[in-house]
């Protein structure tokens, strides 16, 4: 209001200086009064709305305080349950850890047994192959010997005959040894 009065005084001084300014001052004064009335009305409505809002917020605040009390009680109960759950979790974790250790140990033993089994199977297969090769070699040598015997039935010198017999004996011995190894595996 003070600024308004100062403005009015300044405008009066200017109005004395000229009639145009005086006419403008009257228009400005009328508009200012209209705006002041409008502002006052607006302030009244906003004030009433804010009072209603404050009342609603106070009621909401009361409700929220009740909820906070309930939530604090629930929080205390949940904290107790949480501590109990953490204790059970630690116990379960320890039991699970022990089981995992046992499982890993069992898996290691199983893997070692599988490797041993695979190695034994490979050895058996190799020995069987060696036996087949030896039998084939023996059979081939026997056939060769029979063919040679048929060709030179009476013509074979004694040294050659003895050498072939020794070779046949060695082959049979090798065959017997390979069969024995195969049975051991």
Distance CA 1, CA 97 (A): 82
Percent of the chain with pLDDT over 90: 39
Question: Which position has the token pair 């002041």?
Answer: 36
Q: What is the pLDDT of residue 45?
A: 87
Query: Is residue 94 very low, low, confident or very high in pLDDT (cuts 50, 70, 90)?
Result: very high
Q: What is the pLDDT of residue 22?
A: 53
128 touches 182 (CB < 8 A): yes
Q: Is the pLDDT of residue 64 over 90?
A: yes
Q: What is the pLDDT of residue 181?
A: 84
Does residue 156 come out as left (phi exceeding 0), alpha (psi in the -120 to 50 range) or beta? beta
Considering the chain, what is the average pLDDT of its residues? 84
Q: What is the pLDDT of residue 169?
A: 93
169 touches 121 (CB < 8 A): no
Q: Is 1 helix (H, G, I), strand (E, B) or coil?
A: coil
Query: Is residue 71 very low, low, confident or very high in pLDDT (cuts 50, 70, 90)?
Result: very high
Please state, as a whole number, how many other Cβ atoms lie within 10 Å of the Cβ of residue 178.
19
| Across 43-54, average pLDDT | 88
Q: Is the pLDDT of residue 33 over 70?
A: no
């Amino acid at each position: 209001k003070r600024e308004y009065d100062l403005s009015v005084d300044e405008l009066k001084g200017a109005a004395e200086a000229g009639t145009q300014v005086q006419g403008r001052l009257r228009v400005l004064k009328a508009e200012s009064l209209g705006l002041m009335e409008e502002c006052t009305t607006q302030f009244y409505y906003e004030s009433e709305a804010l009072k209603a809002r404050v009342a609603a917020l106070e009621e909401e605040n009361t409700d929220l305080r009740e909820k906070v009390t309930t939530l604090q009680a629930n929080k205390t109960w949940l904290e107790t349950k949480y501590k109990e759950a953490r204790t059970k979790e630690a116990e379960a974790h320890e039991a699970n850890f022990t089981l995992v250790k046992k499982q890993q140990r069992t898996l290691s033993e199983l893997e070692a047994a599988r490797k041993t089994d695979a190695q034994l199977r490979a050895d058996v297969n190799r020995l069987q192959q060696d036996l087949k090769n030896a039998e084939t070699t023996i059979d081939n040598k026997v056939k060769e010997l029979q063919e040679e015997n048929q060709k030179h039935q009476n013509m074979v010198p004694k040294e050659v005959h003895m050498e072939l017999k020794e070779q046949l004996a060695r082959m049979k011995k090798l065959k017997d040894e390979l069969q024995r190894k195969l049975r051991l595996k």
